[in-house]
Structure 1
Amino acid sequence: MMNHGGTRMTYAYERIKKIKCFLFDMDGTINLGNQLIPGMEGFFDKLKAVGRDYYLLTNNSSRSHEHYVNKMNGLGVPVTRQDILISSDALTNWLRKHRPGARLFVLGTPQLLQTVAEAGFTLTNTLEESADYVVVGFDQTLTYERLAIACRLIDKGVPYVATHPDVRCPIEGGEFIPDTGAMLELIKTATGKKPQLIFGKPYQYMVDVVLDKTGYAKEEIAMVGDRLATDIAFGLNNGILSIMVLTGEATLEDVEQGSIKPDIILPHAKEILKYL
């Protein structure tokens, strides 16, 4: 199923055959909340059986790798810590290259702080301690005191970066809670300054992690997801095949009315196996 002309459709399906590494969004693509999407049973075993690699990607920097490993294994999806890529991995991968050993003031959950510390960076906690960067993550434990310290550091000239741009995080029952992008707007309003970099989808830094980890070329990598502005834009912006599935947020009508056009649209992620 495609939203483009026949020639491009044929070309896109030919591209699937060349993919060696699939990047999967989770919620809306593999699972809906704590339920596996019907039809995804055994999918990843079959993908491995035909010699394809895969990673599960999320922008949600409030959780640890172990959280997603436990959740996905509980749903019957075989993954290890190495198979989970979080926006915080893109952050630490970039910092290792550009500012190894950096001192960081992080607005984040205990899980994010642990991820950053384990990656070899020093966490600071006060205005008086020097920091090389302020890091804004999805901080569901945010206090006014830490928010104020972050803004004061930024006012003093400390550059700030963010794990991901999402403004709203979906929760049960079709509701939403404020995400990192909303916190960035608050900080921009308070300081008059924009973040230097944002690391999650749809930006390049998650692709950089995959390229560094695997050695694959971009034409051997595909992004599979249900959200146009993050998953599909991530593929299109970074020269990797974008495959939209209709099991989550975006609909065919959204594609027709919007400016973001996936390379391929499938009703369900399991359909990928037909083209390998």
Structure 2
Amino acid sequence: MTSPKPVECWLTDMDGVLVHEEHVIPGAPEFIAALQTSGRRFLVLTNNSIYTPRDLKARLLRSGIDLPEESIWTSALATAQFLDGQRPGGSAYVIGEAGLTTALHDVGYTLTERDPDYVVLGETRTYSFEGITRAIRLIEAGARFIATNPDASGPSTEGSLPATGSVAALITRATGVEPYYVGKPNPLMMRSALNRIDAHSESTVMIGDRMDTDVISGLEAGLRTILVLTGSTKAEAVDRFPYRPTRVVDSIADVVPLVGQFQPVDQG
């Protein structure tokens, strides 16, 4: 067995790790500040495709977390990059918000309802029956089906909201066509993030709050992983999974001292 390589780069999930909705999780500003002070390369990742990086930067700043928009990587950006690599200059019918439509426009995609190459499903708080029906008919006519992420639900102050995965399941039930999901837990999103900051998997750590998306995608991409217990996965649920993170901590505040170290150790 070879020794782990020194940690040079960090990837971290956003919701459940740094913030709950727009409320900062204690230790998050200090963690980002420690990364910036140390000079470590890093990205903040999110499966949420609603907002552009500029929007997210503003939302995080209101919560007390200051970081450049270039340090934010969304499932919308990863989806746009994937489609640009698959079919440059293509066309798509999009169900989603500005985060997704802007990302697709920026890679040269045309948004259309007439014979698109792809139907691209993302997050929105205004899913419409008309839009879903149009997506179903376009897929039946031969459009390829892409979804930004498989999350079935998302958080709100009032409780859970149906998310991309739930609507994708509806469309799949109607068409018999499964989407290709680009966001976590697809390790493709992790690989695209690593490439964006010129990082190597063996010297990068992924921090997340979900075993079934953050930890497994980090694991499958070859990263060391840290699970924080401030989000979806609770301590008692960790052992139910057939895989484990490198380290489990109570919150992002416990990770701040590790930024100056090189090798997070397995808790055993």
Q: TM-score when scaled to structure 2?
A: 0.90
2:75 maps to a residue whose letter is S
Query: How far apart in 2 are the matches of 1:268 and 1:146?
Result: 39
Encode CA deviations 1:220-253: one digit per residue, 9 max, x unaligned. Answer: 2221011111111111121111110122222221
| 102-111 or 138-147, which deviates more | 138-147
**Which of these residues, 132, 145, 154, is aligned with residue 147 of structure 1?**
132
**Which of these residues, 65, 80, 96, is aligned with residue 92 of structure 1?**
80
**Which of these residues, 191, 194, 197, is aligned with residue 208 of structure 1?**
191
Q: TM-score when scaled to structure 1?
A: 0.87
Q: Segments of 4+ in structure 1 off by > 4 A?
A: none
| 75-84 or 155-164, which deviates more | 75-84
Shift of 1:262: 1.1
Query: How far apart in 2 are the matches of 1:108 and 1:205?
Result: 21
Residue 160 (str. 1) matches residue 145 (str. 2) = yes
3-state SS, counterpart of residue 255 of structure 2: helix
Equivalent residue number for residue 75 of structure 1: 63
CA contact (8 A) 2:49 2:76 kept: yes
CA contact (8 A) 1:109 1:141 kept: no
Structure 2: which 5+ residue stretches go unaligned?
262-268
Query: How far apart in 1 are the matches of 2:209 and 2:231?
Result: 5
Encode CA deviations 1:33-60: one digit per residue, 9 max, x unaligned. Answer: 2221123343212222222122111101
Equivalent residue number for residue 184 of structure 1: 168
Equivalent residue number for residue 4 of structure 1: none
Shift of 1:86: 0.6
Query: How far apart in 2 are the matches of 1:114 and 1:274?
Result: 37
CA contact (8 A) 1:106 1:136 kept: yes
Residue 235 (str. 1) matches residue 218 (str. 2) = yes
1:199–1:249 CA distance, 2 compared to 1 (3 A) = same
Equivalent residue number for residue 120 of structure 2: 135
**Which of these residues, 26, 42, 50, is aligned with residue 38 of structure 1?**
26
1:80 maps to a residue whose letter is P
Shift of 1:268: 2.2
Query: How far apart in 1 are the matches of 2:67 and 2:126?
Result: 28
Shift of 1:61: 0.8
Shift of 1:198: 0.6
Shift of 1:157: 1.6
CA contact (8 A) 1:229 1:260 kept: no
Q: What is the CA RMSD across the aligned residues, in angstroms?
A: 1.9
1:264 maps to a residue whose letter is R
Query: How far apart in 1 are the matches of 2:106 and 2:76?
Result: 12
Query: How far apart in 1 are the matches of 2:83 and 2:186?
Result: 15
Equivalent residue number for residue 248 of structure 1: 231
Structure 1: which 5+ residue stretches go unaligned?
1-7
Query: How far apart in 1 are the matches of 2:213 and 2:140?
Result: 30
